[in-house]
Chains A and B, each alone.
Chain A
Amino acid sequence: MSENKGLLTEIMEYKWKFTMTTTRKVLLMLAGLGIACMIFRLATGLGLATNLNDKWPWGLWIGFDVLTGVALAGGGYGTALIVHVLHRGKYHAIARSAMLTSLLGYLLVMAGLFMDIGQWFNFWRPFVSWGHTSVLFEVFWCVSCYTTVQVLEFGEVITEKVGTKYHNVFKKALPVLMIVGIIFPTLHQSSLGALYLIMVDKLYPLWWSPFLGLFFLMSSFFVGPAMICVETGLAGRAFKHEVPIHVLRGLVRIAGCFMVLYLALKLYDLANRGVFNLVFKGNLEGNLFLLELLLGVIIPIFIAFSGMSNTRKGLITFGVLVSGGLIFNRMNVVFTGMSAALGGWYFPSVMEWAVSIGLVAIGVLAYCFIAENFNIMGHDEHHHNAAA
């Protein structure tokens, strides 16, 4: 490609692809509906568009779009750690797709957060008015910085195809970006949990814990491989790119080790605070807590360390259970664990659902578009060719 061409002309002349399928048409419709609802919400405020109220100031957008979204996007920093810092080369095949999911995840989280804040034109305020005693302050700074870092990291992928003259700059900056891009998530994944530390009088003791931050961090790390299993399962079919089983199995086992640690720490913490009896109390909180641990942690540990993780079916099951278990956990913290203390009533409105679903649809479409136009899936071969 010519070095002299302007960046804009280069973008204009690049042959962009976007294959239309029925699934994508449905996704486009959902995305459109979501955007319409977002405009309505921004124009009218929160009262009309949502079911949020004085007893339930945080709802679906914070619980799902932000708390769950950030955790599910945790595959990015985990992969960066394993592939780019620890140089475990065999996982190179999934590095780019994992980090793309993460980048898109964070952009959607930012969009969700923007929808949720009442004074959205004031979103930049904490950059200048430092409420440094707040855990949310750490979340805000780290998420903003990390999203920027991820965009820069992704610059290396984009400039392979478009804006090629900048490719070497991005390539050189990559190691620094990777390391900075692991520190930030470590901090904010844990601080998302630590947001609830101050609600010690409100959050049910099965979920409130002095280790809440560590639990959120660990679960965001082990959900990474699970998400990769789900994602490669889906993308493998759509893009005819199968990731070798031994690669996924290796990742699943790393996740498994962390899940054993997580489980042990949970049990120790419950016993240490003397609330172990609450698990088997038979009430809503106890039962959901038990279900969360059983489906999202204990069964997946068995899958990871048994022969089941040798099959694609087993890997997908692992992925679905762990990701589902993590969503369940975050929902339990935001809703189940708070309901007794907050009282009142909350169920997301149609528009809240439409926005959340719309954001996910936008993410999937963006993923498809980028995967079609840039070198995301076949990066493994590319890596080996370059090395040879």
Chain B
Amino acid sequence: MAKGVLVDITRCMGCKACQVACKQWNDLPSKNPEFTDGLTSPPDMDGYNYTIVRIEVVEDKKNNDYTIRSAKRQCMHCEHPACASACFAKALQRDPKTGAVVYYPHLCVGCRYCMLACPFDIPKYEWDKQFPLVAKCQFCFDPEGKYDRLGYGLAPACVDTCPTGALKFGEKDDLLKEAWNRINSDPKYLKHVMGEKEAGGTSWLYISDVPFTTFGFRPNLGTNPLPEYSHNFLKWTPIIAVGWGTLLTVMYHYTKRREQVASESNKDVPM
């Protein structure tokens, strides 16, 4: 069964231990922190950061006060990943066993269509390199073994290191049940599990007491699996190729014959 992680935003204290663990496990280069707007650093995921903790100030209208909320962002590992369907070289593939959407660098051409296709804006690029690659969270799954945790039955590095239980690793179906249990047993939660239906469902699920758009989720996320949009177009390709080809061949011979007849009888036959 597909694995998942439940992110409970109300339990996150914004310590960024997950961000550090991710860098360490995946051998990602470190850099001096940059704070452009608030406590989030770096401001967004990039070619060397698979995950960031977004720390945001939220207005608490009931008590006329402000409160701070933080949420870890990373690849959602969609059940029907738009990025994988958009890749024309199969450099992104979903592992059916774990549900991890994995990047295979040796297949990548570098067209960056995945970055535009992703509804969560996750894939990033190593812009400063001569031969740049795409960077995104691999769910700590590595078919080659070096960076693998999921394959050994371990939780991802970020979940393993989380001190507050804001991240919980498990079977996706169980986590979804738990998410709704938590929501229904405490009125502070919004009645919405981010990732249950968005883009056709994702392996990472979020529950929160403040709107998800606070942390950069698009407000207009649809629930249709995005690969369907491409499929509904591409399915016509063989029909058009064969049908159009036949029609053109017929037209070619018909109009040619017509031209011949016209020149033989020396009359102008209008089309």
Contact = CB atoms under 8 A, between A and B. Distances in A.
Interface in B216-230: 218, 220-222, 224, 226-227, 229-230
Contacts of B85: 133-134, 198
A213 B233 contact: yes
B59 to A, nearest CB: 22
A86 B255 contact: yes
A179 B116 contact: no
B249 interface: yes
A154 to B, nearest CB: 20
B251 A191 contact: no
A26 interface: no
Interface stretch (B127-135, B168-176, B182-190, B200-208): B127-135
B259 A87 contact: yes
B82 interface: yes
B117 interface: yes
Contacts of B224: 200
A198 B226 contact: yes
Interface string A56-87: 01100000000000000000000001001111
A118 B88 contact: no
A125 interface: yes
A122 B86 contact: no
B191 interface: no
Interface string B232-244: 1110010011001
A49 B112 CA distance: 17
Given A135-B233, A213-B233, A47 B129 contact: yes
Interface stretch (B103-111, B145-153, B156-164): B103-111
Contact of B88 (A43, A45, A81, A140): A140
Contact of B218 (A86, A118, A195, A201): A201
Nearest to A182: B248
A119 to B, nearest CB: 4
Contacts of A129: 89-91, 107
A118 B131 contact: yes
A131 B33 CA distance: 38
A104 to B, nearest CB: 23
Interface residues of B, number: 61
B110 A122 contact: yes
B180 interface: no
Contact of B221 (A138, A175, A201): A201
Interface string A84-105: 1111110000000000000000
B125 A57 contact: yes
Contacts of B45: 54
Given A87-B256, A187-B240, A131 B88 contact: yes
B211 interface: no
A36 interface: no
B230 A133 contact: yes
B125 A117 contact: no
A53 B109 contact: no
Nearest to B129: A45
B109 A125 contact: yes
B251 A86 contact: yes
Nearest to A344: B44
B115 interface: yes
Q: Which of B45, B117, B248 has the largest count of A CB atoms less than 10 A from its CB?
A: B248
Q: Which of A48, A57, A117 has the largest count of B CB atoms less than 10 A from its CB?
A: A57
A116 B116 CA distance: 15
A183 B252 CA distance: 14
Given A191-B233, A198-B82, 8 more contacts: A58-B112, A118-B131, A122-B108, A122-B109, A125-B108, A194-B230, A198-B117, A202-B116
5 tightest CB-CB pairs across the interface, nearest first? A118-B110, A57-B112, A47-B127, A137-B88, A87-B255
7 contacts: A58-B116, A121-B131, A126-B89, A183-B241, A183-B244, A191-B233, A201-B220
